Amino acid sequence: MSDESPQLTGALPVAALDDPHLQPYAAHPERVNAVAVLSMVVGFLGFIGFGITFWISDQVQWEAATLGVGLFGLGFGVAAWGKYLMPQGPFVEERHDFHSTEAERDAMSAAVLERGGIVVKRRKVLGGLFALGAGTFGVVAAFPLIRSLGPKPGRALFTTNWKKDSLLVSLEGRPVKVSDLDVGGVLTVFPKGFEGSSPDQTILIRLADIAPGEPPFPLAPPGRSDWTVRGYVAYSKMCTHLGCPVGLYQEQTQQLVCPCHQSIFNVVAGAIPEFGPAPRPLPQLPLKVDAQGFLRSQAGYDQPVGPGFWERP
Amino acid sequence: MRRLLRARLLVPAGVAAGVAAAGLLTFTPAAQAGTAPSGSSSSASSLHASTASASVAPTTSGAAGSASAKAAGINPVTLPSSYIAPGEALFAANCASCHGTDAVGTSRAPNLQGLGAGTIDFWVSTGRMPLADPTEQAVRKPPRFNALQTLEIAAYVQSFTPGVGVPIYHVNLSQANLAQGQSLFTLNCAACHTITGAGDALADGAFAPSLHVATPTQIIEAIRTGPGNMPHFSAGNITNAQARDIVAYVHEVIQHPTNRGGFGLGGNGPVAEGFVALLIGVGGLLLVAFWIGERA
Amino acid sequence: MIDKSLRWVDDRLGVAKGGRTFLDKIFPDHWSFMLGEIALYSFVVLLATGVFLTLYYVPSAKEVIYHGSYLPLRGQRVSEAYASTIGLSFDVKSGLLMRQAHHWAADIFLGSIAVHMARVFFTGAFRKPRELNWVVGVSMLLLGILNGFLGYSLPDDLVSGTGIRIAYSILESIPIVGSYIAFFLFGGNYPGNGIIIPRFFIIHVLIIPAIIVGLLAAHLGLLVKQKHTQFPGKGRTEHNVVGSPMFPTFMAKTTGFMFMTTATIFLLAGFAQINPIWQFGPYQPYQISYAVQPDWYMGWLDGALRIMPSWEFVGWGHTWPLEVFLPAVLFPGIVFNLFFAWPFLEAKLTKDRAYHNLLDRPRDRPKRTAAGASVFMLLFMVFCASSTDVLANFFNVPLQSVLITFRIIVIVLPILTFFVTYQICKELQGYEAAGKRKHPVVVTLTPEGEYRTTEMAPHPGDGHEEIEPIPVPTFINLVPPELATGSGVRRVMR
């Protein structure tokens, strides 16, 4: 080795031990050294502490504290060593142009164009067939990747399980009697047999206590005067903005608010959106009371529920 | 150590950790509160202590209560008739200026007759009444009257319409089902009060208050009477047993959340977490980088 | 020992020359060059903690009855994904620490990428020849945000489930193909057939991390190949790099920084509770909590959705949900395309095709700085808009007023920011000494009562800045000069 060294040193830089570039940054290296030693010892103790904590308990705060102290102590010590005690230079490195010479570029493009050119030009049919085959493979390979993922939408977004005469039930499947809700009461209801189903969720609100035979609760939209019964009104609970459950009912102002993006719907005026990003009223479910005094739907929703989509007319 | 480990498998790990940690490494005393069995002696006694209004009342075993309500642990409290006379004096001095003589209401404040003692107890015991400015939403504040005075006012207002309206309830949570309560709370309450019970702003400057200091009696009164913008949940809507489960969930879990992972950051979710991540996490590391690196 | 092993390896792989050059690689010392390292080390923490989590997490939407040790949920019907996440938080030793560390690391990962990106942008480090590395970096940001959202969704709790619901509706809002994309991805109408959890899982733990690892390798490889940029300074030119060598100085500093980054993440993980899903409960599509927001890096999309007016367009027999499509698809699309295209756009606008290895001071490029500040302000304001309800509650003002205020300021403030920043840059340019090295000035009072100012040498603490930089010495004369036995003698201790 000693024989080779002089030759190597001729090409590579050599520095004396007292070269200013090799001196530590710290004015008092021993003090920094003491701090780094202390820090690393604390780090070591932290890791030991983590090991003990893990075995005797599963206390998250102690685990984090010991691990954090361990990691930080070790890291701080090493960083202080690097910053204050190691050679600080400044050192310099030359940049070299990494782009090729013009001749090399020409050679590269010639290798592609000329060598490739004679091959492809001589056998155009082969080249064309290969391109056709590879392209076709690329297209058909995507078929299973895309089409097998799930079903086509079909009419799924247009329909719910609410039909004529669907019985309104609570989440637990309890039918709703006309006497169940006070004025100002709300209840999330589903068609019987579909409790918990997302598109069917409907919010039932009692706006007034109207005796049988009296005129129905006046609603703003024309043609819906008989959609309420005994002061009950029901709307789809899926927001027309992004489908969040519109579960926030302000009783005094008679507004439904969507907790996600704060669209505000006027319950008395057919749930038209008064404020916020929701574009359409919540679809309304026409209600009636059956002979046993249970609430039922007159019909399903007259439009798709939830957010807008392309196929919606 | 092996014996300790085997013994630990027999009890829930969370409780075991709490037991193991209790001697040596107790960091957050409330951290295990949520995992304590419901109806244990500790939670029952804390309930009794916090339902001051019910414990003061002489006859907590409600004679007027229906059998189903009692089975569900929700017992209506019958207020003695001796409360009515002092209640009348308190009402005349503090309430009648707005709610009128005989509590029939004025242009400034509503008729209180027929609302029931529970309604009065809720508004007065939470300090929302008396209210200085009736155009503002009443906020919770230290109550003006002590528990006995509150019951006397409630007895006075109830005396106009005996048996009508929402009574004051004493809630017994020993049979409550917390999992049911969690589900019902999420379905019926979280949309306004938030899932951690922190409360939030509603439309038109109204707000849903925090649930962190309400007593079980006040919670059931709020459910049944629907104060302010809150919907009314009658027994046909949320059954007595369901209401008890919700009260138990609010009282034992929402008010004593299991913050096993550290400081709860106010239950405000990703907004607070984002600030911590960016200011403390990234910000702190920027300072470290600023120390390690050069400035010029 | 080292020597012998090196010979063995070098005989077979020939690594000595390249390896030594790598050890000599120069890293600029300026602190702002360490921002990307925060992202790198948080990513390491993400991988490590993520592997731990996969050992316990069950990616399944199958309904089970919860029987774990968190009592308020016992007996409830929850998904296996939710039950297993609660399980690893309560019944696995160190499980919660790892889960929270994973989440904090994700928040810090994306936060440090944003800060690193701002440094690269405002100093012009993205210019030729580094446009490709900028594109790689922006790709990692995009994938990181996407993967953060997917990971956030995996526990299947109430808050994240609401996020998935919103994501479904956003997909639905895409014209023509929207409902097909949503149905294919979720396996049906929302909430789908339960396939979304395993799909999100495999994308989250395999596909995107693998791409990020590849891009990260490319990012660092390009950095080594193209070498660092540097701020102008003594001895620094377009044709060199001045700083510390890879080994040992930079390696010690960066190792220390790695440990301290990890420490920060784990300290947060144990003391600041993040995403306590046991408090949120399992997701059901008919349940909702108020005040739910996504993680901060998705907040700008949520805010854009909130302040968007209800501009649904119905025509030609179709519905165009612009109130969703514009803020949630087009807006992020434009923002990221702008990010990707910026280096090429700026080169086209300035007609600057030269190599740039020396960085700009932001004030010296007022138009770029103003444009960047303006976009930053836009994104920050939209981000703030994602907490309209929290702000309304905090400041006790009506919700509607907060929302209308935000609709105005997201347009006004960025424009204002552009002109104000431009003006500030111009002012700072005129201030000659700013950014230059300052010399201490000593004021003395003469016996005659006259004050004199004397400019002194720079502060001794950073005196080494004044030394001419030299190439990294490969050989060091380890024998102190006074012990050397003659001139030209050199001994290397082994």
Note the pLDDT of residue B69.
Answer: 60
Residues 6 or more apart in contact with residue A299 via CB below 8 angstroms? A162, A163, A164, A286
**Do residues A198 and A238 lie in contact, with contact meaning Cβ atoms separated by under 8 Å?**
yes
- The Cα of A72 is separated from the nearest Cα of chain C by a number of Å equal to 5
Q: What's the token pair of residue A283?
A: 């679809």
Rounded Cα distance between B44 and B46, Å, is 5
pTM here is 0.89
Q: What's the token pair of residue C419?
A: 């002109």
pLDDT tens by residue, chain C, 494 residues: 678 889 999 999 998 888 988 999 999 999 999 999 999 999 999 999 999 999 999 999 999 999 999 999 999 999 999 999 999 999 999 999 999 999 999 999 999 999 999 999 999 999 999 999 999 999 999 999 999 999 999 999 999 999 999 999 999 999 999 999 999 999 999 888 889 999 999 999 999 999 999 999 999 999 999 999 999 887 889 999 999 999 899 999 999 999 999 999 999 999 999 999 999 999 999 999 988 889 999 999 999 999 999 989 998 889 999 999 999 999 999 999 999 999 999 999 999 999 999 999 899 999 999 999 999 999 999 999 988 888 888 888 888 899 999 999 999 999 999 999 999 999 988 776 555 556 677 888 888 888 888 877 766 555 445 678 888 888 887 776 566 555 444 444 33
CATH number for the domain including C48? 1.20.810.10
- Asked whether residue B259 is domain-assigned, the answer is no
- Asked whether residue B266 is domain-assigned, the answer is no
- Asked whether residue C334 is domain-assigned, the answer is yes
| Number of domains observed in the structure of chain B | 3
Q: Report pLDDT digits (tens) over B222-232.
A: 999 999 899 99
Q: Report pLDDT digits (tens) over A34-70.
A: 999 999 999 999 999 999 999 998 899 999 999 999 9
Note the pLDDT of residue C279.
Answer: 93
Residues of chain B in contact with residue C71, where contact means CB-CB under 8 angstroms, are 12, 34-38, 178
Please name the member of C31, C270, C289 whose beta carbon is closest to the beta carbon of B190: C289
Shared domain check, B221 and B96: yes
- Asked whether residue C443 is domain-assigned, the answer is no
**Do residues A280 and A302 lie in contact, with contact meaning Cβ atoms separated by under 8 Å?**
no
A vs C, Cβ pairs < 8 A, gives 355
Q: Report pLDDT digits (tens) over A252-311.
A: 999 999 999 999 999 998 899 999 999 999 999 999 999 999 999 999 999 999 999 999
Q: Report the 10 Å Cβ neighbour count for A234.
A: 26
Rounded Cα distance between A190 and A177, Å, is 14
Helix axes C296-307, C331-350, angle to 10 degrees: 100
Shared domain check, B12 and B78: no
- Asked whether residue C370 is domain-assigned, the answer is no
* In chain A, domain spans: 16-85, 103-147, 161-296
Sequence letter at residue A107: A
**Do residues A66 and C228 lie in contact, with contact meaning Cβ atoms separated by under 8 Å?**
no
Shared domain check, B107 and B228: yes
Note the pLDDT of residue B179.
Answer: 93
Note the pLDDT of residue C249.
Answer: 92
Shared domain check, B126 and B241: yes
Lookup result for tokens 């006859």: B59
C residues 457-476 lying closer than 8 A (beta carbon) to A: 460-461, 464-465, 467, 469-476
Domain that residue C227 falls in? 28-236+244-360
Least confident of A108-112, B70-74, C63-67: B70-74
Please name the member of B201, B271, B289 whose beta carbon is closest to the beta carbon of C392: B201
B residues 18-37 lying closer than 8 A (beta carbon) to A: 20-21, 24-25, 27-28
Q: What's the token pair of residue C208?
A: 């995107």
- Asked whether residue B113 is domain-assigned, the answer is yes
- Asked whether residue C397 is domain-assigned, the answer is no
- Asked whether residue C23 is domain-assigned, the answer is no
**Do residues B178 and B38 lie in contact, with contact meaning Cβ atoms separated by under 8 Å?**
yes
Note the pLDDT of residue A9.
Answer: 45
Note the pLDDT of residue C293.
Answer: 87
Q: In this structure, what is the dihedral angle of CA atoms B25, B30, B34, B39, given to the nearest 10 degrees?
A: 110
Q: Report pLDDT digits (tens) over A183-238.
A: 999 999 999 999 999 999 999 999 988 888 888 887 778 888 889 999 999 999 99
Mean pLDDT of B66-70: 57
Note the pLDDT of residue B203.
Answer: 85
Note the pLDDT of residue C478.
Answer: 76
Residues 6 or more apart in contact with residue A223 via CB below 8 angstroms? none
- Asked whether residue B263 is domain-assigned, the answer is no
Alpha carbon C347 to chain centroid, angstroms: 25
Shared domain check, B142 and B28: no
**Do residues A93 and C20 lie in contact, with contact meaning Cβ atoms separated by under 8 Å?**
no
- The Cα of A236 is separated from the nearest Cα of chain C by a number of Å equal to 11
Check whether B63 has a pLDDT greater than 70: no
- Asked whether residue C411 is domain-assigned, the answer is no
Shared domain check, B66 and B15: no
Does B231 contact A184 at a Cβ distance shorter than 8 Å?
A: yes
Shared domain check, B200 and B282: no
Check whether A136 has a pLDDT greater than 60: yes
Q: What's the token pair of residue C38?
A: 């925060």
What spatial distance separates the first Cα and last Cα of chain A, rounded to whole Å? 85
CA distances from A123 to A116, A127, A136 (A): 11, 6, 20
Per-residue pLDDT band at A120 (split at 50, 70, 90): confident
Asked if A254 is an interface residue toward chain B (Cβ–Cβ < 8 A), one would say no
Lookup result for tokens 């459910």: B223
Q: Report pLDDT digits (tens) over B94-106.
A: 888 889 888 888 8
Q: Report the 10 Å Cβ neighbour count for A45.
A: 14
Check whether B39 has a pLDDT greater than 60: no
- CATH 2.102.10.10 fits domain A161-296: yes
Note the pLDDT of residue B36.
Answer: 37
Domain that residue B22 falls in? 2-35
Rounded Cα distance between A269 and A73, Å, is 65
Alpha carbon C362 to chain centroid, angstroms: 20
Backbone phi and psi for residue A81, each to the nearest 5 degrees, phi listed first: -55, -50
Lookup result for tokens 């300072």: B287
Rounded Cα distance between C263 and C270, Å, is 11
Rounded Cα distance between C59 and C55, Å, is 11
Chains in contact with B, where contact requires at least 3 CB pairs less than 8 Å apart: A, C
Residue of B nearest to C466 (CA): B296
Asked if B142 is an interface residue toward chain A (Cβ–Cβ < 8 A), one would say no
Note the pLDDT of residue C493.
Answer: 39
Please name the member of B28, B231, B236 whose beta carbon is closest to the beta carbon of A180: B236
Does A180 contact B234 at a Cβ distance shorter than 8 Å?
A: yes
B residues 121-180 lying closer than 8 A (beta carbon) to C: 177-179
Residue of A nearest to C479 (CA): A17
Q: Report the 10 Å Cβ neighbour count for C348.
A: 11
Beta-sheet pairing, C470-471 with A91-94: parallel
Mean pLDDT (chain A) is 90
Shared domain check, B277 and B189: no
Shared domain check, B87 and B221: yes
Chains in contact with C, where contact requires at least 3 CB pairs less than 8 Å apart: A, B
- The Cα of C374 is separated from the nearest Cα of chain A by a number of Å equal to 25
Check whether B124 has a pLDDT greater than 70: yes
| Number of domains observed in the structure of chain C | 1
Does C286 contact A245 at a Cβ distance shorter than 8 Å?
A: yes
Backbone phi and psi for residue C463, each to the nearest 5 degrees, phi listed first: -65, -30
Sequence letter at residue C57: Y
Please name the member of A62, A82, A83 whose beta carbon is closest to the beta carbon of B27: A62
Residues of chain C in contact with residue A242, where contact means CB-CB under 8 angstroms, are 165-166, 169-170, 305, 324
Nearest by Cα to C292 from B124, B194, B229: B194
Sequence letter at residue B230: M
**Do residues A163 and A191 lie in contact, with contact meaning Cβ atoms separated by under 8 Å?**
yes
A292 SS3 class: coil
Backbone phi and psi for residue B263, each to the nearest 5 degrees, phi listed first: -65, 135
- Asked whether residue C468 is domain-assigned, the answer is no
Rounded Cα distance between C150 and C154, Å, is 6
Among B246, B292, B295, the residue to mutate for chain C (most C Cβ within 10 A):
B292
Q: Give the DSSP letter string of C87-133.
A: HHHHTSTTHHHHHHHHHHHHHHHHHHHHHHHHHHHHTTTTSTT-HHH
Instruction: Give the DSSP letter of residue C67.
Output: -
Rounded Cα distance between C112 and B281, Å, is 9
Percentage of chain C surpassing pLDDT 90?
74
Burial of A147: CB neighbours in 10 Å, binned 0-12, 13-18, 19+: exposed
Lookup result for tokens 């799924």: A156
Q: What's the token pair of residue C99?
A: 């889960």
Shared domain check, B136 and B96: yes
- Asked whether residue B260 is domain-assigned, the answer is no
- Asked whether residue B41 is domain-assigned, the answer is no
C78 SS3 class: strand
- The Cα of A99 is separated from the nearest Cα of chain C by a number of Å equal to 10
Does A60 contact C97 at a Cβ distance shorter than 8 Å?
A: yes
* Bridge partners, residue C64, by sequence: C78
Please name the member of C69, C280, C397 whose beta carbon is closest to the beta carbon of B35: C69
Residue of A nearest to C317 (CA): A313
Backbone phi and psi for residue C257, each to the nearest 5 degrees, phi listed first: -65, -40
Nearest by Cα to C160 from C77, C88, C81, C266: C81
- Asked whether residue C36 is domain-assigned, the answer is yes
Shared domain check, B9 and B86: no
Nearest by Cα to C275 from B187, A62, B271: B271
C241 SS3 class: strand
Backbone phi and psi for residue A8, each to the nearest 5 degrees, phi listed first: -65, -45
A215 SS3 class: coil
Residues of chain C in contact with residue A9, where contact means CB-CB under 8 angstroms, are 475, 490
Does A247 contact B191 at a Cβ distance shorter than 8 Å?
A: yes
